[in-house]
Amino acid sequence: MSVSPPPDHRAEKATRPQAAMRATASNRRAGSAASGALDALRMQVRAIEGHYLDDAQARSVLPFADARLNAPLPGGGLSLGALHEFTANALEAELAPSVAGFAATVLAAHLRARGGVALWAASQTDFYAPGLRRFGLDLARVVFVDCRKDAEVLVVMEEALHSRAVVAVLGEAGALTLKTGRRLDAAARASNALALLIRRHVVKPRGVTGEPSGAASTRWRVAAVPSSDVFGSLGPPRWRIDLDYCRNGRTASFIVEALDGADGDSFDASDWQAGHVRVVAELRDDARAAEAPEAREAPRTASPA
């Protein structure tokens, strides 16, 4: 009869800490890999949303000539490779004269800074194209597309952005869903082009409202204000522009004046004033905050006689 030797408990106890250490190291490596994958995924999501953690990844911008307009914008200007909306209230939203003028100045500045050709698509071509020269827009570098409805305008804008043949697109459409707005923003990001959209609410299809799409990087509201009196005649156009939304920035309100340096029959691209706006007044939420302290402090009681 054979007798088996008793188990060596000392060897078993010695191997247990080693196995625990190996399991702990394996878990740490797996946790580190999972954490790195989650961090990379978070950065991808933030990049898709337009949030950049690294300055080297930041998109280039189009700065305004007046530095006060660049203060609320991230990076000091309008982000290229993004969608920007322009809208107005009441009758201005239907005819869009002031909105088109302000958008034309932005488009003209971009064409001078980057060169190339731009596309302007609209279903209501009721503007006077030669009048855009006053805002510095070189009509020889703009392709105008006459569409039948707003849906065609959005399709033309998206196809033009994907083609990479233009440096900027400008469309006039009132109906815009969140899905379509994101498609335009993604197409602009892929081509690094400037996408401008004037929200004209001429016809509102059923089920579509004129509310902001939520996909734009900035949202501007433009309204006409009285111009200055220059020797008894009308001065340059003035607008009140409200930056209602700015991704990674802040809201602001200004009264600006268009520097119309292109009034002649021929467009002079060297004229720095053409296509620029300057701030006439910067509006604040509390007008009393801009007053002097002694003007804000009114006496509570009348002084004795």
Q: Which of 83, 277, 274, 49 is nearest to 188 (CA)?
A: 83
Between 193 and 273, whose confidence is greater?
193
Q: Which of 167, 170, 101, 168 is nearest to 136 (CA)?
A: 101
Q: Which of 244, 286, 234 is nearest to 88 (CA)?
A: 244
Share of the chain above pLDDT 70, in %: 64
Asked if the model's pLDDT at residue 298 lies above 50, the reply is: no
Q: Which of 192, 171, 167, 170 is nearest to 111 (CA)?
A: 167
pLDDT at 9: 53
Return the SS3 of 121.
Answer: strand
* Residue owning tokens 């700065």: 63
Distance from C-alpha of 119 to C-alpha of 155, rounded to nearest angstrom: 13
Asked if the model's pLDDT at residue 293 lies above 50, the reply is: no
**Which pair of structure tokens corresponds to residue 31?**
């946790």
Note the pTM of the prediction, 2 decimals. 0.70
Between 9 and 223, whose confidence is greater?
223
pLDDT digits (tens, 9 = 90+) for 118-168: 999 998 877 788 888 888 889 999 999 999 988 999 999 999 999 989 999
Distance from C-alpha of 178 to C-alpha of 27, rounded to nearest angstrom: 42
Give whole-number Cα distances, 179 to 49, 80, 176, 184, in Å: 14, 20, 8, 9
Asked if the model's pLDDT at residue 269 lies above 50, the reply is: no
Asked if the model's pLDDT at residue 226 lies above 60, the reply is: yes
Bridge partners of 169, per DSSP, are: 119, 195
pLDDT at 197: 95
pLDDT at 292: 43
Distance from C-alpha of 107 to C-alpha of 122, rounded to nearest angstrom: 15
Between 203 and 75, whose confidence is greater?
75
Share of the chain above pLDDT 90, in %: 37
Distance from C-alpha of 172 to C-alpha of 158, rounded to nearest angstrom: 13
Q: Mean pLDDT score of the chain, rounded to an integer?
A: 76
The pLDDT of 37-52, averaged and rounded, is 60
pLDDT at 85: 94
